[in-house]
């Protein structure tokens, strides 16, 4: 029971209401025959992928509407050489390597952080970046390196981490920054020309921070409708209905379905906080998408004393490392393959024995398909 007397179940029940879902599906089915061409909707965010598969929404839509998974899972898009760098850092004497979520299970070139931890390396999985402050305080004779990952959603938390470390004068806390940006990834997918995408469901949590305005350029440049949509079934289906209505009308507009949390301009205080500590990096190599200019952030020069990539530059591997030839994670992130089209999906690659990052992360397309769609071999 929440403090205000409302349970979590009561909060989301309305967004999973069967009658509302049936009504939205009926409306979509009624007008879908008017679509001038099949509607292929990329859900950029891994959270949307998870919801679509969990609730089977892809199975409920007319045949001329399809979902395509996109590059919006921060663990999935991490290239192997960055994971190798985390592993190299964790192998240094008197270093504690800390990171979030599923990152420790993603295979690098030869091993993973999880396997290295089992061999005795001091690697911590955190739920909150600010826990790195406690680690640094409790271990003054060690260097704590926070392997920071995530899109615009998590970047403000890393900015607070730097802010607090500076205020506390914690000299033994560094960051290895891997914060990436959604709009350049959308641009890379569309400019690549391999994926046949003609509509987008926009990431909602990212948009809470940035505002919906960050997608206007993509909508204008590619004349592709985009609706920022929440994660619940009613949210997603209402977003699909809005996209179908645009496509039938021959429009390409930026719209917000998730108005209870997303505005056009976003959280200006969070944006300023990020701008205080980070700046655009020249480029970042994405798994599957390759080098994308200005698609990631780095610490500003005045915070170079917290930049693990600079302090440990001599021992960090930098050569690009391709995925295993049998793994199609890169093609799946570009929206040109489905998990079932990968030969190792459900065979050599499972959540227990992942070959690629898309099977590791709970937001990964392969993991979601394996968990919810069933595996028939």
The model's pLDDT over 318-362, given as tens digits with 9 standing for 90+, comes to: 998 888 888 999 899 999 999 999 999 988 899 888 888 899 887
What is residue 10's DSSP assignment?
H
Residue 358: CB partners within 8 Å, gap ≥ 6? 73, 76, 329, 332, 333, 339, 364, 365, 366, 367
The model's pLDDT over 189-203, given as tens digits with 9 standing for 90+, comes to: 999 888 899 999 999
Question: What angle is formed at CA 80 by the lines to CA 100 and CA 43, rounded to 5 degrees?
Answer: 65
| Dist. CA 304–CA 312, nearest whole Å | 12
Q: For the chain, where are the E strands, in sequence order?
A: 39-45, 65-72, 95-100, 123-126, 143-150, 173-179, 199-202, 226-228, 254-256, 278-280, 283-286, 290-293, 297-299
Q: What pLDDT is recorded for position 2?
A: 52
Q: What pLDDT is recorded for position 242?
A: 98
Mean pLDDT over 74-91 rounds to 95
The angle, 0 to 180 degrees and rounded to 10, between the axes of the packed helices 155-168 and 131-138 is 30
The model's pLDDT over 356-372, given as tens digits with 9 standing for 90+, comes to: 889 988 789 999 999 98
Domain 80-179+267-312 has CATH 3.40.50.300: no
| Dist. CA 30–CA 240, nearest whole Å | 13
CA atoms within 13 A on the CB side of 235: 25
pLDDT above 80 for 11: no
Token readout for 22 is 């049936």
Mean pLDDT over 21-30 rounds to 97
pTM of the model: 0.92
Q: What percent of the chain has pLDDT over 70?
A: 98
The three-class DSSP label of residue 11 is: helix
The model's pLDDT over 210-268, given as tens digits with 9 standing for 90+, comes to: 999 999 999 999 999 999 999 999 999 999 999 999 999 999 999 999 999 999 999 99
Residue 189: CB partners within 8 Å, gap ≥ 6? 42, 70, 71, 195, 197, 289, 334, 335
| Dist. CA 298–CA 183, nearest whole Å | 17
Give span(s): CATH 3.40.50.11740, the chain. Answer: 80-179+267-312
């Amino acid at each position: 029971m929440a403090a205000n007397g409302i349970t979590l179940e009561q909060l989301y029940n309305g967004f999973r209401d069967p009658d509302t879902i049936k009504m939205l599906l009926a409306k979509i089915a009624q007008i879908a025959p008017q679509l001038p061409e099949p509607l292929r909707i990329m859900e950029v965010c891994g959270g949307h992928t998870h919801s679509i598969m969990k609730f089977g929404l892809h199975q409920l839509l007319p045949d001329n509407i399809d979902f395509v998974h996109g590059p919006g899972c921060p663990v999935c898009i991490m290239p192997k050489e960055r994971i190798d760098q985390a592993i190299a850092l964790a192998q240094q004497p008197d270093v504690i390597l800390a990171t979030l979520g599923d990152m420790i299970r993603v295979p690098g070139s030869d091993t993973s952080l999880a396997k290295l931890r089992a061999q005795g390396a001091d690697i911590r999985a955190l739920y909150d970046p600010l826990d790195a402050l406690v680690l640094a305080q409790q271990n003054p004779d060690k260097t704590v390196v926070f392997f920071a990952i995530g899109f615009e959603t998590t970047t403000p938390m890393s900015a607070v981490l730097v802010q607090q470390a500076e205020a506390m004068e914690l000299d033994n806390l560094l960051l290895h920054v891997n914060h990436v940006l959604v709009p350049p990834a959308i641009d890379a997918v569309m400019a690549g020309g391999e994926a046949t995408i003609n509509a987008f469901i926009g990431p909602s949590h990212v948009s809470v921070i940035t505002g919906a305005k960050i997608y206007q350029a993509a909508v204008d440049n590619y004349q592709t409708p985009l609706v920022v949509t929440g994660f619940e079934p009613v949210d997603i289906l209402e977003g699909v209905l809005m996209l179908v209505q645009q496509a039938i009308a021959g429009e390409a507009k930026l719209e917000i379905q998730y108005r209870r949390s997303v505005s056009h301009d976003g959280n200006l205080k969070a944006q300023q906080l990020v701008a205080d500590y980070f700046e655009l990096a020249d480029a970042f190599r994405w798994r599957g998408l390759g080098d994308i200019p200005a698609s990631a952030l780095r610490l500003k020069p005045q915070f170079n004393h917290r930049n693990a990539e600079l302090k440990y530059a001599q021992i960090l591997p930098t050569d690009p490392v391709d995925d295993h030839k049998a793994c199609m994670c890169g093609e799946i992130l570009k929206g040109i393959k489905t998990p079932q089209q990968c030969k190792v999906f459900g065979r050599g690659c499972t959540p227990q024995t992942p070959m690629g990052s898309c099977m590791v992360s709970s937001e990964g397309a392969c993991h979601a398909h394996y968990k919810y769609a069933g595996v028939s071999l």
